Amino acid sequence: MALIEPSDLIPGVRQILFNRPDKLNALSTPLMREFESALEEAAADPDVRVIVLRGAGGKAFVAGADIAEYQGHKRAEFIAYQLNSRRVFDWLERIAKPVICAIDGFALGGGFEIALCCDILLLSETAQLGLPEGRLGLCPGGGGTQRLLRAVGKYAASDLLLAGWRMSAERALALGIAAEVAPAEGMDEAILRRARACLKIAPLAAAEMKRLLREGADAGIETAKSLEQETLFRLYSTADGQEGIDAFLEKRDPQFRME
Ligand code: COA
């Protein structure tokens, strides 16, 4: 059985399913390998406009790194695993397409770190987010402390890291991490609703805005505003930019061609 199952939910929307429900979709080395190649395929396929990440089984998105692989002081393997996770997560954050993370149940450790690399988080009411590595005597290693700090600030981040507290869906919504909280049985519909909305954004514009959010977050405000205007001027000169304007004025749906 594949540990990662890619499928197209509707044309243009590729779901990548973590499929190891008996271990709450924990990120074993083979699973990470399959995850990376499914992401590569989705990122490279021009017909894929939106990527959805989800966990199988309903109980967890992903419960973190595979703790069984950590046992026994295999320091070189441990370091290799961490370096690889960091590389894959960083790359996930840079994919030039919107990535929706749909979380049913637990998103812990590496699972929450993956979510923090995505663009839109949809949570079921059962979702619980956490970085419990401190309970193992460790700390996150895939960028979790730093992305969480930047997403919610020091105090909300400290609660997860220093108290090992799991964040509820309601709290994630209040902190602005979750775009929406849906009942468990409404998740399929919530995902499709968001994915269809993403499909209406011109793909080049989406890619550029994603980059602006990422690069702007660590830049000074004047530099970031200049990045934004340069981007707009570039988009205005594209065929899709003109098509979007024409379509609005002609009261029709735009046909974006990524040019
Ligand atoms: N790595 C390896 N196996 C894991 C795992 C992980 N991160 N998370 C869960 N599993 C396994 C359990 O060992 C168990 O396997 P088993 O049935 O063969 O014993 C199975 O998944 C079900 O988990 P279980 O702990 O029985 O479910 P639960 O409902 O009692 O608890 C959690 C759920 C998520 C609270 C608990 O599994 C947990 O704390 N997981 C680890 C989370 C973590 O620390 N992540 C960061 C890792 S660095």
**Closest ligand 1 atom number to CA of residue 138:** 48
Per-residue pLDDT at 73: 82
Are residue 153 and residue 184 in the same domain, yes or no?
Answer: yes
The verdict on residue 254 lying in a domain is no
Mutational test site, ligand 1, from 3, 18, 24, max ligand atoms within 8 Å of CB: 24
Establish whether 228 is a catalytic residue: no
Among 79, 53, 51, 52, smallest CA distance to 65 is for 79
What string of pLDDT tens digits covers the 259 residues of the chain?
Answer: 899 999 999 999 999 999 999 999 999 999 999 999 999 999 999 999 999 999 999 999 999 999 999 998 899 999 999 999 999 999 999 999 999 999 999 999 999 999 999 999 999 999 999 999 999 999 999 999 999 999 999 999 999 999 999 999 999 999 999 999 999 999 999 999 999 999 999 999 999 999 999 999 999 999 999 999 999 999 999 999 999 999 999 999 999 999 9
Range list of H helices, the chain = 29-44, 67-70, 75-94, 110-115, 144-152, 154-162, 169-174, 187-199, 203-217, 221-236, 239-249
The total number of structural domains in the chain stands at 2
- Residues 158 and 42 occupy one common structural domain: yes
On whether both 188 and 61 belong to a single domain, the answer is yes
How many angstroms is it from 63 CA to the middle of ligand 1?
6
Distance between CA 218 and CA 220 in Å, rounded? 7
Q: Which atom of ligand 1 is nearest to the CA of 67?
A: 1
Q: Separation of 192 CA from ligand 1 center, angstroms? A: 29
Q: Whose CA is nearest to atom 15 of ligand 1?
A: 23
The per-residue pLDDT for 62 is: 98
CA distance 103 to 221: 33
Q: Which residue's alpha carbon is nearest to atom 45 within ligand 1?
A: 64
Strand partners, 7: 15
Give yes or no: residues 185 and 234 share one domain: no
CATH code assigned at 76: 3.90.226.10
- Can you give the pLDDT at residue 1? 81
User: In this structure, are 15 and 91 located in the same domain?
Assistant: yes
Atom of ligand 1 lying closest to residue 70 CA: 48
Query: How far is residue 145's CA from residue 54's CA, in Å, rounded to a whole number?
Result: 22
3-state secondary structure of 148: helix
Q: Is the Cβ atom of 113 under 6 angstroms away from ligand 1?
A: no
Structural domain contains residue 111: yes
Assess whether 132 and 232 both reside in one domain.
Answer: no
DSSP state string for 68-115: HHHTT--HHHHHHHHHHHHHHHHHHHH-SS-EEEEE-SEEETHHHHHH
Q: Is-catalytic flag, 250?
A: no
Q: What is the CATH number of the domain that holds 237?
A: 1.10.12
Looking at residue 140, what is its pLDDT?
98
Q: Are residues 147 and 223 in the same domain?
A: no
Residue 60 CA to ligand 1 centre (angstroms): 10
Which residues form the domain of 245?
203-249
> 121 and 238 share a domain?
no
Q: Identify whether residues 215 and 190 lie together within a single domain.
A: no
Residues 116 and 11 in one domain: yes
Within a domain: residue 63?
Answer: yes
213 and 148 in one domain?
A: no
Query: Does 55 sit in the ligand 1 pocket, CB within 6 Å?
Result: no
Q: Is 64 in the pocket of ligand 1 (CB under 6 A)?
A: yes
Distance (angstroms) between ligand 1 centre and the Cα of 68 equals 10
Cα separation of 187 and 54, whole Å?
A: 10
Residue type, 5: E
Q: Which of 125, 7, 128 is nearest to 62 (CA)?
A: 128
Expressed in angstroms and rounded, the spacing between residue 24 Cα and the centre of ligand 1 is 6
Same domain, 117 and 162: yes
Torsion over CA of 214, 218, 219 and 224, rounded to 10 degrees? Answer: 30
